[in-house]
Structure 1
Amino acid sequence: MPTMPDVRQMFAPASLATTAQLLSAMSRQQLDTQIQQGKLIRVWSGVYATRKPTTRDRLAALDLLMRHEAVACLGTAAALYGFDTEATTAVHIFDDGTRMRPTVGLMVHQRTGAPIRRVAGRLATTPAWTAVEVARQLSRPRALATLDAALHSSWCTPTELARVVDEQRGRRGIVQVRELLELADGRAESAMESEARLVMLDHGLPAPALQYEIEGRGSQRWRVDFAWPDARVAAEYDSVEWHAGRDEMLRDRARFAGIQELGWVMIPIVSDDVRKRPARLANRIAFHLGA
């Protein structure tokens, strides 16, 4: 009985191999056994890895299938730059004439004329182009979150985003992106902060200062998500993840108390305030601003 090859020794960790390469060292039955035992993981049809593939592994596997480097776009490119607010799971690439067919987990796009650069060892659409491409396909709140995140990442500037908006004029969703670009701010540190700020602006509230630092007694300094310093009103977006443990909760409560002792009104915001009760949230803030 033939000895079963150890694929984990045949290929370095995280490396990839095509079916043809594997069959050069083992029989089809042995290959099927390795797959059934979980020693080989299917990345795409005809390409396998020795561990659960990352996005970069999946792109590298496409390189093998296409026989040249795949170009990442949309959410996949945004993830490479670090400003993917949508937790993209599918891999998005250009149709460059190779005639790759979309399949489960793979989206192939026509993007004629899109500028390309290299990031983290991969080819991808440029940061500003990527941000605008993603934003014009999303709802207003999520589009603003993408623009904010792109600016926060420092991969692109407002001027570069505005130039791409002009280059993409006439495309679906570009009018909305042009309007939102005037509101985009790289100081936002999360997508939900961006959504909350849009609620405030849409309801006619004064634009808040973002990531505002409040000086406490002695050497204490606290930073808040939103602030209206003249009214001594601040607002904070609270996520479930932020209060992941007892220590975090106690530290946050002490911070709130310290800011309130200085005469500030602290307004907590949760996701339901932003997405289900936006008018009520705006009225609550307006009340404290006018009190």
Structure 2
Amino acid sequence: MARRSPLPPYLSGASFSVADHAFHGASRNRLVAADMQRPFTAVRSVGLDLADVAERCRAYEPLLRPGEAFSHLTAAELFGVPTPSRSHALHLLAPPGATRARGRGVVGHEASVGAPIVLHRDLPVVAPAHVWCQLASALALDDLIAVGDAIVTGRRRGVVRAPALASLRDLRSAVDAWGSRRGARALASALPRVRVGAESRRETHTRLVLVDAGLPEPIPNPPIRLANGEVRHPDLAYVQWRIAFEYLGDRHRDDRSRWQGDIRRRREFERSGWRVIDVTADDLGPARLEFLASVRGLLATIGRS
């Protein structure tokens, strides 16, 4: 068996064009060896985690042309925005007048007008508010609203919340600039329903299910001071009636420590005079009517005004 020639140390964690022999210095046979990654046509990489979106984007960098930026679902994933599905193919936006990107593993888009671009994770990415407009024609309305919620809500770590990706004003400005392009009607419907505070896609869906059924709109993640003086943030709450909604996904059921934490959290709320309504995926789908009836019943019981 032929012995592979060692690669230069600087190639570890790098991607490069096959044609850039001055950089990689590898022979044609070496470029097709099993330890070489071939993420895109005419590109090789070494030691990248191609399951990670940022690493795939870095693998594509040798093919990036001036003015191009990662966009649509790829940009949403880079920003950590929740969407119902992920795209392994990279979405790229070409500047006005340039041809869209083509090739294996790439979805190219042509810009009719210039899009704002930011540097995020050392990569050129379409700005978050403009990404929201790009996704309008690809997402259902409730998911479009969930993406909007995520963009205007900074991630919370304990009592500290990081800056949001964009503000509601930024979203409004982006929608105005988007004009009558594809997805404009969906944006017009979604924008008034975007709220600051939701920390997951399902929290947004729960809020929308309640409001669409004619029930009062709950507040996402309000700070609640418990009887012991500590502050907790229920997923959603009717603060005036001391009702908290807690969404329980499959991870809550399968992770023992998370399940135990859910129990302790519920008891803390109840000791402080709060009623807790657990919400599951079924409550937002096939069991929606029963879920809504239980909420209406509870509101009737406490005699809300």
TM range (shorter): 0.7 to 0.9
Which residue in 2 is equivalent to 1:286? 296
Does the 8 Å contact 2:70/2:92 carry over to 1? Answer: yes
Number of the residue aligned with 1:111: 111
> Percent identity at matched positions?
22
- 2:265 is aligned to 255
Q: Match of 1:43, SS? A: coil
Q: Distance in 1 between matches of 2:21 and 2:277?
A: 60
Determine the structure 1 residue equivalent to 2:83. 85
CA distance in 1, matches of 2:150, 2:68: 25
Shift of 1:240: 1.8
Q: TM-score, normalised by structure 2?
A: 0.83
Q: Partners in 1 of 2:70 and 2:278 — Cα distance?
A: 39
- Give unpaired runs (5+ residues) of structure 1: none
Match of 2:74 in 1: 76
- Structure 2 partner of 1:40: 36
Report matched runs for 1:126-205 at 5 Å.
Answer: 126-153=127-154, 154-205=164-215
Structure 1 counterpart of 2:243, from 225, 229, 233: 233
Q: Is the 8 A contact 2:221 2:236 kept in 1?
A: yes
User: What amino acid sits opposite 1:19 in the alignment?
Assistant: V
1:5-24 paired onto structure 2 within 5 Å: 5-7=5-7, 9-21=8-20
The Cα offsets for residues 46-85 of structure 1, whole Å up to 9 and x where unpaired, read as 1011123343443344442355463111122223333253
Question: TM-score, with normalisation over the residues of structure 1?
Answer: 0.87
Q: Secondary structure at the match of 1:206?
A: coil
In the alignment, which of 30, 46, 65 is matched to residue 50 of structure 1? Answer: 46
How many pairs does the alignment contain? 286
| 17-26 or 64-73, larger mean C-alpha shift | 17-26
Equivalent in the alignment of 1:59:
57
For residues 5 and 287 of structure 1, the distance between their equivalents in structure 2, rounded to whole angstroms, comes to 73
Q: Hey, what's the Cα distance between the residues in 2 that align with 1:114 and 1:98?
A: 11
Between 161-170 and 75-84, report the one with greater CA deviation.
Answer: 75-84
